[in-house]
């Protein structure tokens, strides 16, 4: 078919949107596994900062639930298989019985806009993307680096670029896929990145509620962060009955938590050792 090649190109997703709506600014398609949505948002924020665009439509989508997708991730021993009879309990980040992630499917899209441009048209502003960090592990095709070292550097970069004091971060939306190795490593990296302030941070994995949306994960989790700022409510980590490790961080088990949310961090780490962290903060 003459449509085979166009249908196989990832950038045709953004291309179709551009064609349909007449968007003639930067047309940029990101493919970085589970960090895709976060990288798309971070890259778009930089394009606006550099003056290349006033408005960017950024996010991620994924639809991989099928025989090949499920079989492939099961063969990689990444998915949960111990809760087939109680699937609602399968995604359980940080819990001692976690055994892999639950596949999700969906999309999330954010409108990023230069501040004065947004004010001029009376836009409802949820938050500001103030910090962005991206790193590579240079370690393994699927496993995270020891101690989530790459994720740690992404967090530190995002904090530095945000221009805010780390003590202003009240909530972290973790990558937290419910895998045995990744969850504990990320929690330790967050403790290292925030030092003494870690004890005052609340952190959860919303993958416990929506599953792992792969390329869309970073986008929907950034949306959760924006809504946490708007509503002053931090989403919970579901199914966290028995934490498998000790941490000073509040992992928000079971129930959402009301509290002051001035700024948030969202982490996304992908196969191939690609990492992204975003800092979103309230607009005063």
Residue 117 is a catalytic residue: no
Among candidate residues 39, 117, 140, 175, the one labeled active-site is: 175
pTM of the prediction?
0.96
- Six-digit token string for 14: 């953004």
**Architecture of the domain delimited by 31-281:** 3-Layer(aba) Sandwich (3.40)
pLDDT digits (tens, 9 = 90+) for 145-185: 999 999 999 999 999 999 999 999 999 999 999 998 899 99
pLDDT digits (tens, 9 = 90+) for 255-281: 999 999 999 999 999 999 999 999 999
> For the residues 93-121, what does the mean pLDDT come to?
98
Residue 39 is a catalytic residue: no
Contacts of 32 (CB under 8 A, 6+ apart): 39, 270, 272, 274, 276
- Six-digit token string for 228: 């946490």
Residue 136 has pLDDT above 90, yes or no: yes
Among candidate residues 28, 39, 212, 225, the one labeled active-site is: 212
Angle between helices 217-231 and 36-49 (to 10 degrees): 70
Residue 212 is a catalytic residue: yes
Please report, for the chain, the start and end positions of each structural domain, with discontinuous segments joined by +.
31-281
pLDDT digits (tens, 9 = 90+) for 28-70: 999 999 999 999 999 999 999 999 999 999 999 999 999 999 9
**Contact yes or no for 275/156 (Cβ under 8 A):** no
């Amino acid at each position: 078919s003459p449509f085979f090649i166009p249908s196989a190109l990832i950038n045709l997703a953004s291309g179709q949107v551009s064609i349909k709506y007449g968007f003639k600014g930067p047309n940029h398609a990101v493919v970085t596994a589970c960090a895709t949505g976060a990288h798309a948002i971070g890259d778009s924020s930089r394009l606006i900062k550099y003056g290349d665009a006033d408005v960017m439509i950024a996010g991620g989508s994924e639809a991989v639930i099928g025989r090949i997708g499920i079989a492939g991730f099961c063969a990689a021993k990444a998915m949960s298989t111990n809760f087939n009879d109680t699937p609602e309990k399968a995604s359980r980040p940080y819990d001692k019985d976690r055994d892999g992630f639950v596949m999700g499917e969906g999309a999330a899209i954010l409108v990023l806009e230069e501040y004065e441009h947004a004010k001029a048209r009376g836009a409802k502003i949820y938050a500001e993307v103030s910090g962005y960090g991206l790193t590579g592990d240079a370690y393994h095709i699927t496993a995270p680096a020891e101690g989530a070292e790459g994720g740690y550097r992404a967090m530190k970069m995002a904090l530095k670029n945000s221009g805010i004091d780390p003590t202003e971060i009240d909530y972290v939306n973790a990558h937290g896929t419910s895998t045995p190795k990744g969850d504990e490593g990320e929690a330790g990296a967050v403790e290292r990145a925030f030092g003494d302030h870690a004890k005052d941070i609340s952190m959860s994995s919303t993958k416990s509620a929506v599953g792992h949306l792969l390329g869309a994960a970073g986008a929907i989790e950034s949306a959760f962060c924006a809504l946490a700022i708007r509503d002053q409510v931090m989403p919970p980590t579901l199914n966290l009955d028995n934490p498998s490790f000790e941490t000073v961080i509040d992992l928000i088990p079971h129930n959402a938590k009301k509290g002051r949310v001035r700024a948030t961090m969202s982490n996304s780490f992908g196969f191939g050792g690609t990492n992204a962290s975003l800092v979103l903060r309230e607009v005063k």
